[in-house]
Structure 1
Amino acid sequence: MGDGRHGLLSARGLTEAALVYAAHVFRLIAPLLLYPVLTRRLGLEAFGHYAAGLSLALMVSAVVEYGFGLSGPRDIAQAKVTERGRVVGRVLGARLWLAPIGLLLGGLLALINPVVRGDPGAIAGALALGVAQGSSVLWFFQGVRRPGVAATAEMLGQGAAMAVILCWTGVSVGGALAVQALGLGGGIAAGAVLMIRQARPIWPTAREVLAVLRGDLALFVSRGLIVAYTGASAYVVAALAGPAQAALYGVADRLVLAATSFLRPLAGLVGPRISGLMRDDPDAAYRTTRWSLILTPGVAGAGALVVILCAPLAVRLLFGVAFAPAAEVLRVLALILPLVAVSQVLGPQLMTPLRMDRAFAIVVGIGCGVTLIAAAVMAPHAGAMGMAWARVIGEAAVVAACVLCLRAHWTHLKSGLRGNDAAAV
């Protein structure tokens, strides 16, 4: 099943992987260029507002995205070429319903947070960015194993937005968020045009949209819960401990998020591969998962060690003396990197192809509940540091729950590595 046309180690597979990772390297570099400028131009308090706005955008994006980033590649990979237009139509139709719901929810969340509710510009920019983030079409190109096209388009749009912000000396919180929304939206629009040219959408009826939403409800719950205890962390810190602590947590969290972004393209490349193999060659699917479970956490653990050693110097150089306390927060958050790597392999890469969507939602619910309970206890007193330790505890709970849910499959995963394992990759 590892033929030259479709294997990840084929010439085309390596090219696609290179393009996807180039886009994610850019996402890693972009905050390292943008945040040092914004922290100095906005200051500690205002940057806390910006961090809270980014968290609000992520919560809106979770509604619009609705888990299609996981189910979409799986459904496209398993659909016949003639049926892809129907899958595309269902996703686009559902998102047209979900966008206004996400905007309404985002507006309500903004009103209950004292840090952002007094800045209408920041609220508008965050809501627009959230819709853009949730509208990505990368899922389609992952399903057809050509993710480099969409990743490159989104990278170019984000790059243009970053250039505008860097040149805008009087940028405000709302202005920065709005420009990011416009840049990302332009890149996604270009990808959408290419998607429609490959698979003309067959627009669904209202009943079909409702059926899709019901079918992906478990994935939506999973995605929403993940955002609730990861992407929304700065929003929680802002509400519980104020904008200054949100700023300290925000810069540390964004650096760790940039590091974890290296794991996402791997999931996007390997996940659809495993989905296809589960149908055609389950043994090869488990071999691919096994290799991913060995390699991905190992790389993530090495990255965590680098972050821990370099945190004080990196924070001072990038963000200035005012953000120096964020170094200890960053060291704690680095501990989640190997934990996230394991949960990415066991969750999106294995449980999703196995259609264990409901079980994965329960797993994420456990992680969310543990994280938020720990944050409610620790963040009001320890601020950013308390939220960081709450994240570590929550990610450990997710890994433990994944292991328990997959106990029936460990026989396949633990079986000895064979000489033809590389063909599965």
Structure 2
Amino acid sequence: MKRLLKNMGLLFFAQLCGYLIPILEIPVLARALGVQEYGKVVLIQSVALLTSLLVEYGFSLSGSRQIAIARDERGALARIFGEVLSAKLMIFFVVSMVGVIVFLVQGSVFYDRELVFMGFLYFLAFGFSPFWFFQGLEKITVVVVVEVTLRFVGLFLLYVFIRGEQDAVLALGIMAGFGLLNTLVGNVMCVSKVGRFYLSFVGGLHQIKLGFHVFVYKSSSNILMSAGPSLVGATSGHIAVASYVPAEKIIRGFVGFVNPILIGLYPYLNRQFQFSQGNTMRLSWMIVVGMFVAGVVAAGLIFFIGDFLILKVLGAGFMVASDILKTFVWIIPFRLANQALGLCMLIPMGRDKVTSFLMMSSSIMSMLLAAIMSVWYGVDGVVMGFVIAEICLFFALFTVVFEGKNKYQNKEGV
């Protein structure tokens, strides 16, 4: 229990810094680079983050679960680390080939090669992060300290060296460079822990197959949020991205801030469902309702102070982001409730396949709705499409919970 609380505290700290640093980056970059160059930087940054999620693949759950079981067996740790790294390299190769083709066809028309290269480094940094390994070992103190320290150093250098629109490549290079350094340090620590390991094509395929449903569940919402700037850029141009991103970062940061609670409760609820389904269901419902209520309160607060925040932090030139934020905030209560329904109820009930299917369907629906509505409403249409799809997902997951509960009760009655 002590280790659980310590890790939850560290995850809170890391999540808080992961929320604050991107928020602090906004005024530093937006004021220095201007709307046009800032829009280019955040668009490439969002594409790099989106593709890195494909390489990460959800190993933070499927891989860390294996590490947790085998944490006292060095041979098993080496095998798992080698297989996961093999899987990431295989996914990386496919994603990179697609990216090269897209860039050769049209990417060079819109952006400098230097900016795209920095985006590629950003992609490497997040795609090959070994945080999943230390999360499974329940030894995250050092990696959290290193990550937070490097991110604050990077923020300081952005403040010192980024002075005008000519510094766009340097800005993305600083963010990508420190992210890549953090990933290299983490992987060196992994190798020192496991010793000799081997890459395996068969093992990589095994890990991809093993983590598929977890990947679909975990990554669907992340991919959706990360794809937002790319979609806005494709439908409305990179200047519109500069107005969308500040609102998107606020929403993503707040939603991600509750993850340590849900991840910390996840193993406990899995065990409890095996012994007392009724009591665990009541506790899980309390968590879901609590998340929804907290989301409503947060959305209302952000709605009323959004104008003030945007004006004071970014300036009058970004006030259009305030209107976007006032619509976007209503995704918060439904996103929090949906995460709680998945991690605290459906997956512990053994409904992971249907949950992952609904999450992926919701992501596809979100993108389609956002693209269609952007034709009439521009950036506001993209945001409205995301909110509507999230509400629909909430009712779908709600229905599956009751179906799963009834099936469980019928099974118990036999």
Secondary structure of 1:136 counterpart: coil
Contact 1:363 / 1:398 at 8 angstroms: preserved in 2? yes
- 1:172-226 deviation digits (Å, cap 9, x = unpaired): 3332222212212222333334444444575353212112212223334445543
- Please say if residues 115 and 239 of structure 1, whose CA atoms lie closer than 8 Å, have aligned partners that are also in contact: no
Q: 1:402 aligns with which of 371, 381, 397?
A: 397
Secondary structure in structure 2 of the residue aligned to 1:81: coil
| Among 244, 248, 255, the residue aligned to 2:250 | 255
Q: Which amino acid aligns with 1:138?
A: F
Corresponding residue for 1:136? 129
Q: In 2 relative to 1, CA 112–21 (structure 1 residues): closer, same or farther, beyond 3 Å?
A: farther
Which residue identity is paired with 1:55? S
1:312 pairs with one of 307, 315, 319: 307
Summarize deviations over 1:56-112 as a string: whole Å, max 9, x none.
012211221012122123333344632444332321221122223232333445567
Structure 2 gaps, min length 5: 410-414
337 and 409 in structure 1: CA distance in 2 versus 1, 3 angstrom threshold? same
User: 1:356 & 1:68 partners in 2: Cα distance?
Assistant: 19
Equivalent position amino acid for 2:292 in 1: P
**Corresponding residue number in structure 1 for 2:48:** 57
Q: Equivalent residues in 2 for 1:166-185 (5 A)? A: 166-170=159-163, 172-185=167-180
Match of 1:158 among 151, 156, 169: 151
The whole-number CA distance in structure 2 between the counterparts of 1:97 and 1:268 is: 27
Q: How does 1:33-182 map to 2 (within 5 A)?
A: 33-79=24-70, 81-82=72-73, 83-110=76-103, 117-170=110-163, 172-182=167-177
| Structure 1 residue 291, shift from structure 2 partner | 4.4
Letter in 1 for 2:112: D
Counterpart residue identity of residue 347, structure 1: G
Aligned residue pair count: 405
Residue in 1 aligned with 2:342? 347
SS in 2 for 1:231: helix
Would the aligned equivalents of 1:59 and 1:106 in 2 still touch at CA under 8 Å?
A: no
1:261 alignment partner, SS class: helix
Residues 359-381 of structure 1, C-alpha deviations (whole Å, 9 max, x = no match): 23311222122212211222133
- 1:230 is paired with a residue of what secondary structure? helix
Conserved in 1, the CA contact under 8 Å of 2:87 and 2:203?
no
- The reply on whether 1:391 has 2:392 as its aligned counterpart is no
Say which SS state the counterpart of residue 394 (structure 1) adopts.
helix
Structure-2 change in CA distance of 1:114 and 1:311 (3 Å): farther
Question: What does the per-residue CA deviation read over 1:312-340, in whole Å, with 9 as the maximum and x for residues that have no partner?
Answer: 00011111111001101011111111111
Show the counterpart of 1:226.
Answer: 221
3-state secondary structure, aligned to 1:363: helix
**CA deviation profile, 1:288-326 (whole Å, cap 9, x unmatched):** 634432433333322212111110000111111110011
Which consecutive unaligned segments of at least 5 residues does structure 1 have? Answer: 1-6, 415-425
Please give the secondary structure, in 2, of the residue aligned with 1:335: helix
1:421 alignment partner in structure 2: none
Farther off after superposition, 171-180 or 227-236: 171-180
User: In 2, Cα distance between the equivalents of 1:198 and 1:262?
Assistant: 30
Q: Distance in 1 between matches of 2:50 and 2:35?
A: 23
Matched residue, 2:358: 363
Which structure's residues are more often helix, by fraction? 2
Deviation of 1:228 after TM superposition, in Å, equals 4.4
Whole-Å Cα distance in 2 between the matches of residues 89 and 302 of structure 1? 45
Q: 1:22 to 1:81 in 2, by over 3 A?
A: same
Equivalent residue runs for 1:268-347 within 5 Å: 268-275=263-270, 277=272, 286=281, 289-347=284-342
Query: Contact 1:363–1:401 (CA<8 Å) still a contact in 2?
Result: yes
Identity, in percent, stands at 22
- The whole-number CA distance in structure 2 between the counterparts of 1:408 and 1:177 is 48
Distance 1:13 1:208, change over 3 A: closer
Letter in 1 for 2:40: H
Output the CA distance in 1 between the equivalents of 2:282 and 2:335: 20
Q: CA deviation at 1:355?
A: 5.4
Q: How does 1:181-192 map to 2 (within 5 A)?
A: 181-192=176-187
TM-score (norm 1): 0.85
Distance change (3 Å), C-alpha of 1:299 and 1:36: same
Aligned counterparts of 2:133 and 2:101: Cα–Cα separation in 1: 31
